[in-house]
Amino acid sequence: MSKKNNIIPHDHKIDKLSRSKVKGHKPKLIWFTGLSGSGKSTLAGKLEEEFFKRGVHTYMLDGDNIRLGLNKDLGFSLDDRTENIRRIAEVSKLFIDAGLVVLAAFVSPLRKDRDFVRSLFSEEEFVEVFVDCPLEVCEQRDTKGLYAKARRGEIKDFTGISSPFEAPIQSEFTIKTNKNDVTNSLKAILDHLKDEIKE
């Protein structure tokens, strides 16, 4: 059977607009990209807390719930990373269709993969946040002990050490986490987003 043909759409009445209206805010994907240890997941988690206080319906996607489930068949080669990000992008699209605000925190080191994510959404549905922190600082933090393992060769294909990171050139928002603490970084993102989430 052809992979593309013979999928005949149903005409369902409950659509993105109706699901979005009952939530009282617009759906949006906030995509955090940056090196391991840059603070993506911490910032996304704190941002979710702030949204939650404001009654925004959120969901967070990160390595914890993706790499151990949907994408547990994928490794960290460049091809697998591309497929990893493709699937996350498609899942994000379903969540946006459901009317939610999605916080996605993934290294997503390749520009072409991030561009694919962006291509699935309208301009107002997508915000790329570059969590910008020098490799040296991330490696010094080494909150998970992964850089040490990568340096010892115990982890292959580790971004920044043995696998490339292509810094974003068109992010909607950049936060330098080596120059701002979590509170300040969070405040800056909230300021940037405050008009965009509420109807």
* H/E stretch holding 82: helix 78-97
CB of 162 to a copy of itself, least distance (A): 9
User: Which segments of 40-189 are extended strands (E)?
Assistant: 58-62, 101-105, 126-132, 173-176
| Residues facing residue 126 across a β-bridge | 29
Residues 154-193 that bind a copy of itself (CB under 8 A): 155-158
Closer to a copy of itself by Cβ: residue 87 or 172: 87
Q: Which amino acid is at 164?
A: P
Residues 73-92 that bind a copy of itself (CB under 8 A): 73-76, 87, 90-91
Q: Is 108 a known active-site residue?
A: yes
Closer to a copy of itself by Cβ: residue 24 or 134: 24
Closer to a copy of itself by Cβ: residue 48 or 128: 48
- Per the CB < 8 A criterion, the answer to whether 99 and 27 are in contact is yes
Residues 6+ apart with CB under 8 A from 68: none
Closer to a copy of itself by Cβ: residue 7 or 169: 7
7 binds a copy of itself (CB under 8 A): yes
Segment lying near a copy of itself (by CB under 8 A), choices 18-26, 123-131, 169-177, 178-186: 18-26
Indicate which residue of 38, 92, 108, 163 is catalytic: 108
Cβ count within 10 A of residue 20: 19
152 binds a copy of itself (CB under 8 A): no
Angle between helices 16-23 and 78-97 (to 10 degrees): 70
Torsion angles phi and psi, residue 61, rounded to 5:
-110, 130
What is the Cα–Cα distance from 6 to 150, expressed in whole angstroms?
Answer: 47
Residues near a copy of itself (CB under 8 A): 1-4, 6-10, 12-14, 18-19, 22-23, 41-42, 45, 48-49, 52, 55, 57-65, 67-70, 72-76, 87, 90-91, 93-95, 97-98, 100, 144, 146, 149, 155-158
Active site (catalytic) residues:
108
